Amino acid sequence: MGDPRKIAKANTATTSESKTDWDRLSLTDTPLASELAHDMELLSRVQAHPVPRPAQTRIVAVANQKGGVGKTTTAVNLAAALAESGLRVLVVDSDPQGNATTALGIERVEGMPSLYDVFLGRKTMMSTLRQNDKYASLLVVPSSIDLAAVDVDLADADDRRTRLKVAVDSLLLELEELDRHIDYVFIDCPPSMSLLPINALIAAKEVLIPVQCEYYALEGLTQLLRTIDSAKQAANPSLEVSTIVLTMASKNTNLSAEVAENVREYFPQQTLDTVIPRSVRIAESPSYGETVISYAPRSSGAIAYLAAANELANRGR
């Protein structure tokens, strides 16, 4: 034990020192304060611009053959953010990994009707539809691990590239007849250039590319753009890359900012102003079968996806 008088003196000194430091700091100079200020700014932007309902259903393929860049996270959270704003949204999980299905709270049970049955022509897409339990206006076509076999199963089918398009278009028509117009469809693609993403690029009207804020961010994009071009020429002339979303940005490195700048140089029109930060809440929400929008609505991750969805909707098409 030390001398209590000395300890008291030392504490006083520390207190007065930190007070001086604190006085010298402008509140916005602290990382936490500037983060809060940034979130408040995003929120006020969201509140200032209501989310419009698109005149026609927007069918968006979320694609990047690079793995782990935030395709699924972006698809489910934009979908939830739009559903939160009252829009009707459909997520088609076209990845055998099924991450979008589980992130949207749907347990994958063997034998349950899935997109695989639709590809094989065994079921209508309508009969595979599931509803998210947090947002009634968010529907899901679940994936199954069998989807990995689609390339082989459909190798000899002439219509193998257009099956998803036919299924999505007829589902939208059927829902329309039931007075259930869908505003947005997000097709979550696997990290490959197989038949599944090709089907998505033919079914979609636009492509959204998540780009991770890391050193090799643009690597592989040329190949993706080439594939998009061939889908455009072969079967979908109006297809366009409408949106680039920068994901997993770290606040504490210059690298993310440099990558963002670089991506904006290549895609000045398409890149959203909103950048999705790296966030623990975003990463942990799928393990609860939830999107970050419902799991941690006030977190910076949720606010960023709400702002990104708002921007996507207001940019329109």
Q: Nearest 5°: phi and psi at 79?
A: -60, -45
Return the number of the residue (50 or 68) whose C-beta is nearest ligand ATP.
68
C-alpha 112/C-alpha 88 separation (Å) is: 24
72 touches ligand ATP by CB under 6 A: yes
Least separation, in Å, of the C-beta of 26 and ligand ATP?
A: 28
Give CA angle at 108 (303, 113), nearest 5°.
Answer: 110
Chain centroid, CA 85 distance in Å? 16
Least separation, in Å, of the C-beta of 32 and Mg ion?
A: 31
Token pair for residue 312?
A: 């996507």
C-alpha 307/C-alpha 47 separation (Å) is: 9
Site residues for Mg ion, 91-150, by CB under 5 A, read 99
Least separation, in Å, of the C-beta of 73 and ligand ATP?
A: 3
Site residues for ligand ATP, 215-254, by CB under 6 A, read 247-248
Q: Which residue carries 């790296």 as its tokens?
A: 278
Identify which range of 82-90, 117-125, 193-201, 281-289 contacts ligand ATP by CB under 6 A. Answer: 281-289
256 touches ligand ATP by CB under 6 A: no
161 touches Mg ion by CB under 5 A: no
Residue 299 vs residues 35, 182, 225, 277: alpha-carbon distances, Å: 11, 28, 33, 11
Q: Are 132 and 104 in contact (CB under 8 A)?
A: yes
C-alpha 72/C-alpha 63 separation (Å) is: 9
72 touches Mg ion by CB under 5 A: yes
Least separation, in Å, of the C-beta of 99 and Mg ion?
A: 5
Can you tell me which of 96, 142, 191, 289 binds ligand ATP, judged by CB under 6 A?
191
Can you tell me which of 73, 85, 271, 299 binds ligand ATP, judged by CB under 6 A?
73
68 touches ligand ATP by CB under 6 A: yes
Q: Are 81 and 308 in contact (CB under 8 A)?
A: yes
Can you tell me which of 87, 138, 198, 276 binds ligand ATP, judged by CB under 6 A?
276
C-alpha 129/C-alpha 140 separation (Å) is: 6
C-alpha 283/C-alpha 45 separation (Å) is: 25
Binding positions for Mg ion, rule: CB under 5 A: 71-72, 99
What does the binding site for ligand ATP look like in residue numbers (CB under 6 A)? 67-73, 95, 97, 99, 190-191, 247-248, 276, 278-279, 282-283, 286, 301
